[in-house]
Structure 1
Amino acid sequence: MSILLSIVMPAYNEEECIELVVEQWTGMLDRQFPADNTRLIVINDGSKDRTGEILDQIKGKYPKLFVVHQKNGGHGNAVVNGYRQAVALDSEYVFQTDSDDQFVTDDFMKLWAKRHDSPFILGYRQVRHDAGARLIITRILQYSIATIYGTFISDSNIPFRLIKGSFLKKLLAQLPDPEPFAPNIFLAVMAKKAGCNLFDIPIVHKERQTGTVSILKWKLLKVCMQSFRELARFRLDLNRKVKAIRQPEPVTTL
């Protein structure tokens, strides 16, 4: 049976809110797509707390929930693993969000309403409730992308994005090797340069009520510099990769 929509959600040390977030997003799927086959794919990224245990305990309670456990590889690695799981399920659409309960499920429909207008759609945290250092680094990334690639993306790394499954498969095939620290940025850049209208739809971003942010202060600056270097190197291959993404899908005959 084909999958209309898969939601990809990385999770790391979110024992305080993971069941609530699963309930919220599976509830949204039940309300908006009662007759369709949908999935919530949660990638437990080697959590050190009870996140993985809780996910295993509640699987039977939420039939749409699909849990994958992996060794800790970081947020970006967990996201890509989730994307690959969704593509393997032949999902028509793939949506990605985070497990920290900072987003509102109702905002999903703003992106869903545009699904026929673009194969790659982003939300945009117009009012962002994060630490000041993260806001500054987001601004640095905005201008880095504008400088390196000649294009402006409001929130290139946002974990609130809707992608057509067949287009995501093409994007994943063009990710640089080794896998970048923040692959969502590279996917957004490739989609933009391939001519997609990303829309940058304003969405609600709530203050974090539970857990802790895993990347702070000097580590955050180090990550920013790493991402800048990766983006600069990727510039050399971008035209070739965009050309591959723009290739029409092969027509299969029965």
Structure 2
Amino acid sequence: MSVLLSIVMPAYNEEACIADVVAMWSSLLTKQFPTETTRLIVVNDGSRDRTGAILDEIKPDFPNLIVVHQPNGGHGNAVVNAYRQAVAIDSEYVFQTDSDDQFVPEDFAKLWAKRFDTPFVLGCREVRYDALARLVITRILRLSIFLIYGTYIKDSNIPFRLIRGSYLKKLLAQLPTPTPFAPNIFLAVMAKKAGNNLFNIPITHKERQTGTVSILKWKLLKVCFQSFKELAQFRLDLGRKVAALRKPEPVAA
């Protein structure tokens, strides 16, 4: 059974909003694609609150919902696991967003409209409502990407992106191991270096109403150093990996 679109999202300690977020994105799928097979894949990253229990409780209400529970491995690990789940069910397109209710489903259409122009479409938070720590990290990573790769991507780690399933499979095969702290940055860099127009479409970003920010204070410096180190190391392999991405996909018999 072919899956036209899978929406994937990691979830960690989002008990206050996870039911509403699932209902919101599931509604988008059923309304916009009523005759197509779609999936909403939520990866519970070892939440310490009732996020996992709530997901299990509401699952019967949403036939397109797939719930995956994993030990806590961090946001990046959960994102990659969600991507792999979507690829495993042969999703034609994969859309990633977060479970913290800071994005609006209406903006999905802006990326969907570009699906035939490029295999990798990024949103862009022009006005961003996040803690100062996250804003600092974004600016440091933006500068790091430019210095290391000579590539400017305004919002390379944004959790609002649409990727063609076959292309995502190729990207995941080139992702360094172990999984980087912010794998979405590496996917965006590879897609950009492979010659794709990422579009960077402006989208709405809302102020966080529930939950807590996990990266604060001393963790900020640790995260920045770790990410810069991973990006620098990846530069040595980037040419080979981009070449692999540019190889034509095999034609089905």
Scaled by the length of structure 2, what TM-score is found?
0.99
8 Å Cα contact 2:4-2:36 kept in structure 1: yes
Q: Give runs of aligned pairs for residues 38-117 of structure 1, distance below 5 A.
A: 38-117=38-117
**C-alpha separation in 1, matches of 2:91 and 2:146:** 32
Q: Give runs of aligned pairs for residues 1-254 of structure 1, distance below 5 A.
A: 1-253=1-253
SS of aligned partner of 1:8: strand
SS of aligned partner of 1:124: strand
Q: Report deviation, 1:133.
A: 2.3
8 Å Cα contact 2:156-2:188 kept in structure 1: yes
Percent identity over the alignment is 77
Note the alpha carbon deviations across 1:39-69, whole angstroms, 9 max, x for none. Answer: 0000000001000000000000011110000
Aligned length: 253
**C-alpha separation in 1, matches of 2:48 and 2:158:** 25
Aligned AA for 1:241? K
Deviating runs (4+, > 6 A) in structure 1?
none
Q: Report deviation, 1:177.
A: 1.4
Scaled by the length of structure 1, what TM-score is found?
0.98
RMSD: 0.7
**C-alpha separation in 2, matches of 1:81 and 1:143:** 28
Q: Report deviation, 1:151.
A: 0.7
**C-alpha separation in 2, matches of 1:132 and 1:42:** 27
8 Å Cα contact 2:40-2:66 kept in structure 1: yes
Note the alpha carbon deviations across 1:149-190, whole angstroms, 9 max, x for none. Answer: 011001000000000000000000000112111100000000
Q: Where does structure 2 lack aligned partners over 5 or more consecutive residues?
A: none
Q: Report deviation, 1:135.
A: 1.1
**C-alpha separation in 2, matches of 1:38 and 1:178:** 30
Aligned AA for 1:196? N
